Structure 1
Amino acid sequence: MLCMCPIHIVIEIWRYLTNYVVTIASKYPFWNRTGGADHFLAACHDWAPSETRQAMKNSIRALCNADVSEGFQLGKDVSLPEIYIRSARNPLRDLGGMPANERPTLAFFAGKIHGRLRPILLKHWEGKDPDMKIFGPMLPGVDRKMIYIHHMKTSKYCICPRGFEVNSPRVVESMYYECVPVIVSDNFVPPFFEVLNWEAFAVIVAEEDVPRLKEILVSIPEEKYLSLQKGVRMVQQHFLWHSSPVKYDLFNMILHSIWFNRLHQIGT
C-alpha cells in the first residue's frame, strides 16, 4: 500500500526506528555482537527500503519493495511476496484453475491505474484486442471478486505490472489460480530467487516492451507454455499460507531465505 504520509511523518518513522535500535543495542548484547547482522525485519511498506537503510543497514531486511534501484541488497536482503488473503479462516479458498487446454484468454489484467507503467499498459491494450483482456478497476459489485478470479482461472497468462513500486500481489495470485505470471517490473527481485528458477514458471518482460506484449506471448511455443504452467503448479505450494505452517509453504520459505542470506554473509 502506498503511504501518502507527509514527509515529516516519514522522518518521525525513521527517528522512531533509529531510537528503537539504540535502545536494543544498549540493553542487550546480541545486537552489538554483530552490529545487527544476526537480526532481521519484515516490512511491506513502499518506503521501507529508505526508512531502514541506515538504522538497520547490517540487518537482513525482508522487503516487499525488493527494488535494487532503491537499495535492496542481493545476498543480504530478502524479497517478500505480496499476498492478498481473501479469507483468513480459509486462506486456500478458490485455489486452482482450469487445465491448460481450457484457458481461452491469452492474457488478463485488471486493477487500479497507479504508477507510471499501468497507464501505458491500458493505452496500448485496453479494448484493443479480444485476446488481451486488459482492464482498469473492475466495476464495483457483489460479483467483482469472483469475476476477477474467473478471469485468472481461465487465462493462460496473467499480467503483473508494477504499480507505484516494483511488487504486486498479482504475482502470487497468478500462482494460486495456475495462471502463468507475466512480470513487467524492471529492477524487481522476485521472492525466493535463491532457490527457485523463475524462468521455469514465469515470463519476465521489460517495461519498455509493453507495446510488444502480445507479440512476446504469442511467440512462446505451446510446448513452452505447457511447461511454464506445469511449473506454476509445481511451485504453488511454496506460496501458500496455512492456518498452521506446513513444510515448504510460504512461512517456511521466508525463513529459509533469511537463513540462506545470513549463511551467505557468514561465508563471505
Structure 2
Amino acid sequence: MFLTNIPLFISLFLSFSLPLYSTPYLSPTTLFPNYQKMLQSFKVFPYTSPLVFSTPSDSEPLFVSSLLNSSFLTLDPEQADLFFIPFSSINVSARSLSRLVNALRYDFPFWNRTLGADHFYVSCEGLSFGSDRNVLELKKNSVQISCFPTAPDKFVPHKDITLPPSLAGPYSPMEKAKNHLHLGYVRYGAIKEHSLIKELRADSEFLVDSEPLDQLGFQERIRISKFCLFEYGKGDVSGINDALRHGCVPVVITDRPIQDLPLMDVLRWQEMAVFVGWNKGRAGVKVEELKRVLYRTCGGDDRYGEVRGLGVTAGKHFVWNEQPQPYDAFHMVMYQLWLRRHTIRYARREVA
C-alpha cells in the first residue's frame, strides 16, 4: 500500500522549496531507493512476550504498536532479517532480563547464530551494562531502541537508535511571521533555571516562558521566534521536533558531543540546528556569546532561510501517526533498523 504514487511523493519531497544542492539528508541519492527496498523485503520476527506500557501516548508504545501491526512482521523466523525481543521496559530487573535471554538461547536457535547481534529491543530509559553474561550480550550486541535523550552510559553509538519524541497533533507547518518579534524563545522547562535564564529574561530579544503552555500557545511562540533554545543533558529537549517542523531553528546548548540524536543515520543535524558549547570552566555560556552565534547563523536572510527550510523538510520524518504513513517517524526508525540488518552469523553450536 505504501508504493502508491511513491515516485510523485519523492519528487515533491526532493523539491520542497530547496535548491537541489541543499538537503537535510546524509545521502539523498541512496535514502529513497533504499527505503523502497526496505518496504519490499525487510522482515522482522517477534518473539512472544507480554507488553505493558503505562504511557500509551509516548513514542515507545507507538513504535511497538505500529511494528506489531505492520507488514514488516513475519511468523517464519527463517525469513527474518532481525528478531524483536518484546518486554516491558518499566521497572525491568536484570534478573528477569537474564532469564529472558537465557530462554531465547536454549529454546530457539537464532540467538546463538549472532550472539544477539540480529536482535533488537525497545527500552525508553535504556539498559545498563551488567556482569551477567545474558544481559551483557543483550546490551553489547543487540540493537537498543531508546527514547531521546538517553543517558550516555546507556547508549552505544552507531549501534543503538533513539525514537523521535511523540508530538501533540498532526503535521501542519505554520507560515512564519514576516517580522519576528524575538530572536530566541525558551519554553518552560527547556532549560533549567540558572544564570543563563536570568540573562535571557533580562534581554528584550528573547522570550522566556515561566509557565507551561498548551500546544497552540507553544506553536504561536515558535511562529514569532527565529530560534528555539534547548539544553541537552539537563533540560527538556522533547520540543526539538516541534521546533523543526514548525520552522523555529533549534539551538542546542550542550557540554558534550551528542551521539543519540533521533535519525542520526539519515539527517545532517549540523545543517539544520545550531549547537553551542557549554563552557563549564566559565560557569556556562553567556547571553552575549549566544547572540553572536545566532547572528552569525541569521546574518543573511538566505542563510537563515536555508537552515530553517532544512529543518522543516526534516520535520516530516518526526511525525508519529496512529496509522503509519510513508517516511514518518515509524518508517524512519524501521529504516535505521534495516541499515543494521547485516550481522556476522556463526556456525551453529550446542551451548554447554
Report the alpha carbon displacement of residue 200 of structure 1 after superposing the two structures with TM: 1.9
Q: Call closer, same or farther: CA 1:157–1:11 in 2, change over 3 Å.
A: closer
CA contact under 8 A between 1:113 and 1:136: conserved in structure 2? no
Report the alpha carbon displacement of residue 65 of structure 1 after superposing the two structures with TM: 4.5
SS at match of 2:339: helix
User: For residue 209 of structure 2, what is the aligned residue in structure 1?
Assistant: 135
Name the amino acid aligned to 1:56: K
In the alignment, is residue 99 of structure 1 matched against residue 176 of structure 2? yes
Q: Higher Cα Rg: structure 1 or 2?
A: 2
User: For residue 146 of structure 1, what is the aligned residue in structure 2?
Assistant: 216
Name the amino acid aligned to 1:157: F
CA contact under 8 A between 1:238 and 1:248: conserved in structure 2? yes
Paired residue for 2:265, among 177, 180, 194?
A: 194
User: For residue 99 of structure 2, what is the aligned residue in structure 1?
Assistant: 19
Structure 1 alignment gaps of length 5 or more: 2-9
Q: Call closer, same or farther: CA 1:193–1:162 in 2, change over 3 Å.
A: same
User: For residue 182 of structure 1, what is the aligned residue in structure 2?
Assistant: 251
Stretch of structure 1 that moved more, 224-233 or 175-184: 175-184
Name the amino acid aligned to 1:251: F
CA contact under 8 A between 1:122 and 1:136: conserved in structure 2? no
In the alignment, is residue 203 of structure 1 matched against residue 274 of structure 2? yes
SS at match of 2:317: helix
| Cα distance in 1 for residues equivalent to 2:293 and 2:120 | 39
Q: CA deviation digits over 1:73-127, x for unaligned, max 9?
A: 22211132223x33xxxx306x22232634322111122378xx653431332x2
SS at match of 1:205: strand
Q: CA deviation digits over 1:199-226, x for unaligned, max 9?
A: 2211111122631222211222222211
Q: Call closer, same or farther: CA 1:27–1:238 in 2, change over 3 Å.
A: same
User: For residue 155 of structure 2, what is the aligned residue in structure 1?
Assistant: 72
Aligned length: 242
Report the alpha carbon displacement of residue 251 of structure 1 after superposing the two structures with TM: 0.6
Q: CA deviation digits over 1:41-83, x for unaligned, max 9?
A: 12222xx242687243210111225558425222211132223
Paired residue for 2:329, among 246, 250, 253?
A: 250
Structure 2 alignment gaps of length 5 or more: 1-54, 56-89, 345-352
Name the amino acid aligned to 2:170: L
SS at match of 1:63: strand
Alpha-carbon RMSD: 2.9
Report the alpha carbon displacement of residue 37 of structure 1 after superposing the two structures with TM: 0.8
Stretch of structure 1 that moved more, 210-219 or 31-40: 210-219
| Cα distance in 1 for residues equivalent to 2:175 and 2:146 | 32
